Structure 1
Amino acid sequence: MFGTARSGVHAYANVAVETGVIAASPHKLIVMLFDGALIAVASALQQMKANNIPAKGKSISKAISIIDSGLRASLNKKVGGDIALNLDALYEYMSSQLLVANIKNDPVILEEVQKLLHDLKEAWCAIDNEKNAYKQPEVPPIARAYDPLAPNISTLVKA
């Protein structure tokens, strides 16, 4: 009637991800794509070491999908110029390396892609940190002067 605990956990995780996506800035969405690809590659490494071939293939396919349909698709080559073109070539390289790693069952290739994804994510996060470093500090709200005749809302009791 209520399903298994596992399906409840998955439903909760899906809601958390969907809520995160809805509330995320475009910059945060790219970070989430990097995180998803990194998790998929890490899972593929574990599954490769455990000789779980079907699960490994599924994880690698997920990583390729995130790279191609998420990261590559989000590039604006007209506005991004050489940086966008270079990132596109790097994403294409990572996708092809993931295919080779899957066929050859080679963890070294997966680790290379994992390092590239990690380095790109770090650089992407550094961009956001630099942007936030130049923001004007928020001015704290002005404290209201004490007024002994003003009602204290926290001590009012409803009848």
Structure 2
Amino acid sequence: MTAYGMNENYDSYRMIDLESKAASSSPYELVLVLFDGLLDELARARGHIEHKRYQQKGRSLEKCLNILNGLNGALDYESGGETVQGLARLYDYCIYRLSDVSVSLEVAGIDEVVRLLGILREGWEGVSAARG
């Protein structure tokens, strides 16, 4: 089996695993599943850049941007107040940084986004635990 075929099989497994987790999750747990998938994909994008696999880098960053746009689009702007406004600004900043990384190929931008999202993920984990 080629490396591409193994990667394709792994992607299929990940998709099934993600769908399974999403189907049995509360809204807060679903956000954590999305964050975990996003952080995993950011690690893959970083590896693709380091190994000069630019086509795969593009697909990985596109997935990351789609997840960030989805998280941003799910925010409740009507009743969320300053918290939602802050999250929207953070998501927008991460989108901006990843768009820049796509062109500049500077992995420091990915590292910054991973740090920011890691902190944010911890907050969502606390909310999920408090609600659970």
Q: TM class by shorter-chain length?
A: 0.7 to 0.9
Q: Distance in 2 between matches of 1:95 and 1:9?
A: 26
What residue in structure 2 maps to residue 86 of structure 1?
86
Q: Distance in 2 between matches of 1:131 and 1:25?
A: 10
Tell me whether 1:108 sits opposite 2:111 in the alignment.
no
Q: Distance in 1 between matches of 2:8 and 2:99?
A: 31
**Alpha-carbon spacing, 1:8–1:111, altered in 2? closer, same or farther (3 Å):** closer
**Alpha-carbon spacing, 1:9–1:40, altered in 2? closer, same or farther (3 Å):** closer
Number of residue pairs aligned between Structure 1 and Structure 2? 128
**Alpha-carbon spacing, 1:92–1:10, altered in 2? closer, same or farther (3 Å):** closer
**Alpha-carbon spacing, 1:109–1:29, altered in 2? closer, same or farther (3 Å):** same
Q: Distance in 1 between matches of 2:8 and 2:108?
A: 34
What residue in structure 2 maps to residue 72 of structure 1?
72
What code does the residue aligned with 2:60 have?
S
Single out whichever of 40-49 and 17-26 deviates more from structure 2. 17-26
Q: Distance in 1 between matches of 2:98 and 2:25?
A: 28
Alignment of 1:3-152 (within 5 A): 11-69=12-70, 71-132=71-132
Give the greater-gyration-radius structure (CA). 1
Runs of at least 5 residues in structure 2 that lack an aligned partner in the other structure:
none
Q: Distance in 2 between matches of 1:130 and 1:57?
A: 37
* Contact 2:18–2:33 (CA under 8 A) maintained in structure 1: no
Structure 1 position 19, deviation (Å): 2.0
Structure 1 position 22, deviation (Å): 1.1
**Alpha-carbon spacing, 1:78–1:24, altered in 2? closer, same or farther (3 Å):** same
Identity of aligned residues (%): 26
**Bigger helix fraction:** 2
Structure 1 position 39, deviation (Å): 1.0
Runs of at least 5 residues in structure 1 that lack an aligned partner in the other structure:
133-159
When the two structures are superposed, what TM-score results if normalisation uses the length of structure 1? Answer: 0.73
Q: Distance in 2 between matches of 1:16 and 1:49?
A: 27
**Alpha-carbon spacing, 1:103–1:21, altered in 2? closer, same or farther (3 Å):** same
**Alpha-carbon spacing, 1:22–1:6, altered in 2? closer, same or farther (3 Å):** same
When the two structures are superposed, what TM-score results if normalisation uses the length of structure 2? Answer: 0.87
